[in-house]
Structure 1
């Protein structure tokens, strides 16, 4: 007779490890916390063909909410476009885009990287769209942000903090 789910042997009774509980993540909400667009080119009245040099800065923040298993993750983007030849600023965008996530079954030691890698990956397409729309509506060609490697960003930040801590202890 074949084993049925009711008569299947217990995996723990055989000493085999139980199946890990799958990670559960839901995006409960996402919203613009703060946004600023400054069209400096229009304010100054610069004329002529301008070749832009675009710089993007990314910061992340995550915090526990009062509700169990809920976290707020904030993706902060600052885009500065300057004229290549003169160095004059053309426009600046500052955007804080937040998501509220319900996260379960993530081990404590993996929660920090999960919140700062996986959650921003979920938010990024919406941030890209907002930046594109705002630059287009501001009179510039739509700026399509390159995909951000949040894993590399996380690793770089860990290395920077380790270096700062090492320097701090060396100076003490």
Structure 2
């Protein structure tokens, strides 16, 4: 089976469009962080086997400079004792990356910012969480890889459901 010239051209056009995307990380930093070792403050008795809950939120905003965006990964991690549910620690982390992005079509910028950019900064977030929990007196918490595409799709579905419930006819994505 041979490729038709149209199929070959279409694939070449897609590859050329992909090659035009230029993205670089200009800066990464902790915007806000809080670690509270409740176990040390209050003293939990009994078995302190942890049950960890991780909540992830993302935020992206355009900066004043053309083509620059700030993408923030917000983690809220709570650890409670399995027996009794006593809190052990709470870690809140807002980690930001400043990105210079060119060549992404406007209608694809939102998913690019909330999927690709957090993928780039996630290894640094993971290291910070591991270091802070270890330095806070607990075994290092090594986060599982986060599927940012699944998070994005879940948020789109949640917004569609919210719009249906409120009676809007056309879903919008911000």
Q: TM-score interval w.r.t. the shorter chain?
A: 0.7 to 0.9
**SS at 1:143 equivalent:** coil
**SS at 1:27 equivalent:** strand
Whole-angstrom CA distance in 2 between matches of 1:49 and 1:85? 7
The unaligned stretches of length 5 or more in structure 2 are: 1-8, 169-174
The unaligned stretches of length 5 or more in structure 1 are: 1-14
Aligned to 2:30: 32
1:14-163 → structure 2 map (5 Å cutoff): 19-20=16-17, 22-163=20-161
Structure with higher Rg: it is: 1
Aligned residues: 156
The 8 Å contact of residues 47 and 83 in structure 2, kept in 1 or not, is answered as no
The 8 Å contact of residues 44 and 86 in structure 2, kept in 1 or not, is answered as no
Aligned to 1:10: none
**SS at 2:119 equivalent:** helix
Q: List structure 1 runs of 4+ shifted beyond 6 angstroms.
A: none
CA-CA distance at 1:22 after TM superposition: 1.6
RMSD of aligned alpha carbons? 1.6
Whole-angstrom CA distance in 2 between matches of 1:53 and 1:44? 18
CA-CA distance at 1:49 after TM superposition: 3.4
**SS at 1:124 equivalent:** helix
User: So what's the TM-score if we normalise by structure 1?
Assistant: 0.87
Name the one with the larger helix percent.
Answer: 2
Residues 61-86 of structure 1: per-residue CA shift (max 9 Å, x gap) = 00000000000000000100000111
CA-CA distance at 1:48 after TM superposition: 4.1
Residues 86-126 of structure 1: per-residue CA shift (max 9 Å, x gap) = 11100000000000000000001100000000000001000
Whole-angstrom CA distance in 1 between matches of 2:48 and 2:158? 36
Whole-angstrom CA distance in 1 between matches of 2:66 and 2:106? 14
